[in-house]
Amino acid sequence: MAVKMLRAHHDPCDELRAFRNYRTEMNTTSTSPNDPGNFPATRWTVVLAAGGTPSPESAVALERLCQSYWYPLYAYARRRGHSPPDAEDLTQEFFARLLEHNWIARADRHKGRFRSFLLMAMKRFLAKEWDKVKTIKRGGQVRLVPLQLDTAESRYTREPADTCTPEQVFEQQWALTLLESVLQRLRGDYASDGKGGLFQTLEPCLIGSRDRQPYAALAAELGMTEGAVKMAVCRLRERYRVCLTEEIGHTVASADEVEEELRHLFRVLNRR
């Protein structure tokens, strides 16, 4: 399924403000959540821990990260001036080589953001490797990684015209992709619980003020009491907080970096 662009629905900055306004402590125990010993194993930490000797678990974790965050690199390549076919080919080839040659072994464990690693690796690939493979016939020898590239250009052409650098485009699309991943996960969780309609009705409450989303009107629409609606909104916001924290956590290497990455997302989206 194609990833829907968030700006078609609302300003993603509002989602981050909602997270900041409604978040609670990441760890409710008496131990500090910034203690590295409390940071759970995530996709990126599993990949980093494997280092030069990849495990089946790290391979699966890395592939899932690549499948989630390929589009920001496609947008980066397009802003660098590559045609849609070339951007598709180089994105596909980049991830194929990333997985095949274990480029993760080059990752700096002390600067462990997946976002930073991907952009630097793509820059090196474009500078040193792409000229060697760009003549490969599309659909022929290009090694396929399961990416939804059929939707890439339609997404890119929906982007408003701007003067952002390729790096800024990458950062913006990274932030939007991460936020959409959170919403997709929440949407799926509610649907699995048989509450898809409830999520659809309450989703605007994640970002809107109470005046814009009066609980009395929502209660009438849902056939619930106003108190029940308030409780449902609180639960939705809490689940959103947890999902956003976990999604960011999957792309960094320590608990300290979660809050720092959140602030970075604010800065990126506020530039839009």
> For residue range 17-32, what is the model confidence (pLDDT) as tens digits?
544 443 433 333 333 3
Query: What gap in Å lies between CA 77 and CA 36, rounded to an integer?
Result: 35
Residue 168, CA atoms < 13 Å, CB-side half-sphere: 10
Residues 6+ apart with CB under 8 A from 235: none
> For residue range 99-144, what is the model confidence (pLDDT) as tens digits?
777 776 666 655 567 888 889 889 988 888 776 665 554 445 555 5
Q: Could you state, in order of their start, the residue ranges of all structural domains in the chain? A: 7-38+163-272, 41-159
Integer CA distances (angstroms), 110 to 104, 132, 148, 239, 265, in order: 13, 32, 32, 30, 20
Query: What gap in Å lies between CA 133 and CA 129, rounded to an integer?
Result: 7
Confidence at residue 231, expressed as pLDDT on a 0 to 100 scale: 95
pTM of full prediction above 0.75: no
Confidence at residue 193, expressed as pLDDT on a 0 to 100 scale: 95
How large is the average pLDDT for residues 188-199?
96
Confidence at residue 106, expressed as pLDDT on a 0 to 100 scale: 66
Whether residue 205 is predicted with pLDDT greater than 60 in this model: the reply is: yes
Whether residue 69 is predicted with pLDDT greater than 60 in this model: the reply is: yes
